[in-house]
Amino acid sequence: MRVLVTGGGGFLGTAICRLLRARGDEVVSLARNPYPQLDWLGVRQVQADVASLDAVLGASKGCDAVIHTAAKAGAWGTLEDYYQTNVAGTDHVIAACFMNGIGRLVHTSTPSVVHDGRDLEGVDERVPLASHFKAHYPRTKAIAEQRVRQANGPDLATVVLRPHLVWGPGDNHLLPRLLRRARAGRLRFVGKVSKLVDATYIDNAAQAHLDALDRAKPGADCAGRAYFISNDAPWKLDDIVNALLNAGGLPKVTKRISYRAAHALGRVLETVYGTLRLAAEPPLTRFVAEQLATAHWFDISAAKRDLGYLPRVSMGEGIGRMRDWFKTDEGKHLLAD
């Protein structure tokens, strides 16, 4: 089929494009910047923003399906910026599907939409959306997710995926910040003890989107629903971080800070950065402190049942691939950056 991937040049978007092309699908990417790796894959690139309805309409014309990964992530920025990309951009994707007669839409959300600051241990999709948020990212993603699910119907089958902590070779979001802070000696774990968290190896996260795409049909069990996606093997957060650092030849991190202190520091930094109108993300926010101090792992039985999803790359195998990747020119460059 012909598939539009919004955010096709991103970490997850590129992996999805690669899998689609490998099985013979025609792929169009909508992203704000051009990406050489997409040219190599034979992906047609449209350089534009999902905040433009005209751009989304043009890029999606003639497509059979859309995988919507484009989003503004992170824990800092204005509500307007997050809203324009995460909510208005999603509205444009939905509108383009209806206006161009596209019958399938897979939307990338986040488990953060259900995180209210407390431990989430083995919960499934029956857990409600959080009633309050400490960051614009999960707040706007929750709105977008609801709109995608509401758009499901006889003319458009929609599926929402919530992959948790996507990681792997080529990560340009979480991994660079982790490495920079570790090298600078500024990396700390939050809370008295390390909690269990889910993570998702990049190839597994990408495959889940193809699984959802193939089953997204009007009336299907998955239509109009949201699904947690992970490696189905929660690890202690300390162990995940130190395994990644070890793969890159960096020393183990053991220092901790109490949740109370981290939360207070996050509040102070948010106030200072907000007052001074600093564009850079603070070293710590209340949202990040909560994420680091709490357990969040999920029951993915529904994704296995309805989507046929199975994590094919284990956490251990993924760490091994990271070790090999750090020996490549790209990996060495990241370690030295």
Residue 39 region by backbone torsions, left for phi larger than 0, else alpha for psi between -120 and 50, else beta: alpha
- On whether the CB atoms of residues 37 and 43 are closer than 8 A, the answer is no
Spatial separation of the C-alpha atoms in residues 123 and 258, rounded to whole Å = 26
Collect all residues with Cβ–Cβ distance below 8 Å to 214 and sequence separation of at least 6: none
Specify which residues 106 forms β-bridges with: 67, 159
Is residue 137 flagged as an active site residue?
yes
- Catalytic choice (35, 137, 227, 309): 137
| Active site positions, annotated | 137
